[in-house]
Amino acid sequence: MIKTDTIIALATPPGIGAISVIRLSGIDSIIISNKLFKALNNLDLITQKTHSINLGYIMDCKTIIDKVLISVFKAPRSYTGENIVEISLTVQYNIDNARDFVLNIKDPETSLKQATDSALRHVVGSTGLDGVISTGREQVALGTAEKLQELLTNYGSGINVVKINIEEARPPTEVKAAYDDVIKAREDLERLVNEAQAYSNGVIPEARGEAQRLREEAEGYKSQVVSKSEGEAKRFTRLFSGSKWG
């Protein structure tokens, strides 16, 4: 996918339910929605402010398909306006129920791919960018596998997810250079902090050792002065006593 694509995805699990959410994203998403939507107030979606909610109908020509709420989020203030990640992964699975696998899903490969996309979006959407790209890959893979298995079980697919391997996760090519700069700046900061900590670890013990040496020298000097003073005092006392009785 490139940044000019417009995509549509089911954001709620398939099946019977009280509500379903469909997400459109991309530069033409509002234009496409506007062609299918008729607002109760007859306002155009294109003219609506970002982060607005609009009540109306999804139409097929003049036929009402359903009554809906449409939320409009315009870039760059949309929730997906910044944290975009390209992820390559493989799914290891086996068939634990051949009957369900054959009878319940028409196209297993397509169903598995769609369910994987849905599970991955669910997990990535609640994970920070750094977690997806670097530090949290293992957690993303585990969370995606768990969510994927949940979806496949709901389908009655007969598929058992063994493992998900995230082969690559990186920012899009268009912003990779900027992201690399951020990473380099963070690494430089970490290096400087480590160097400062190492310097501190060396200087503080050295300073404490020097302070201890000075204290010991001062104590030694103090003892020497006191001893000398006490000796002088005793000598003076003896001289004074001898002079008095002589």
Candidates 36, 73, 42; CA nearest to 55 is 42
181 and 162 assigned to the same domain: no
Residue that terminates a domain, selected from 72, 97, 129: 72
Tokens 């050792």 belong to which residue?
209
Q: What is the pLDDT of residue 109?
A: 81
159 and 115 assigned to the same domain: yes
Instruction: Give how many domains the chain has, as a whole number.
Output: 3
217 and 181 assigned to the same domain: yes
162 and 178 assigned to the same domain: no
Residue 129 belongs to some domain of the structure: yes
* Rounded Cα–Cα distance for residues 77 and 178 (Å): 19
Residue 81 belongs to some domain of the structure: no
- The CATH number that applies at residue 110 is 3.30.479.30
167 and 90 assigned to the same domain: yes
Residue that terminates a domain, selected from 146, 171, 196: 171
Q: What is the pLDDT of residue 2?
A: 46
167 and 178 assigned to the same domain: no
Q: Which residue range forms the structural domain that includes residue 96?
A: 86-171
- The CATH number that applies at residue 11 is 3.30.1360.120
**pLDDT by residue for the chain (246 residues), tens digit each?**
445 567 777 766 666 555 677 777 777 788 888 888 888 888 888 887 777 788 888 888 888 888 888 888 776 555 554 445 566 678 888 998 988 888 888 888 888 888 888 888 788 777 766 667 766 778 888 998 999 999 999 888 899 999 988 877 766 665 566 666 766 777 777 888 888 888 778 778 888 888 888 888 888 888 887 788 777 777 777 766 665 544
Residue 80 belongs to some domain of the structure: no
Q: What is the pLDDT of residue 82?
A: 44
Peptide bond before 205: cis, by omega within 30 degrees of 0?
A: no
57 and 97 assigned to the same domain: no
Q: Indicate the pTM of the whole model.
A: 0.42
Candidates 42, 43, 37, 31; CA nearest to 60 is 37
* Rounded Cα–Cα distance for residues 138 and 145 (Å): 11
| Other beta carbons within 10 Å of 81 | 13
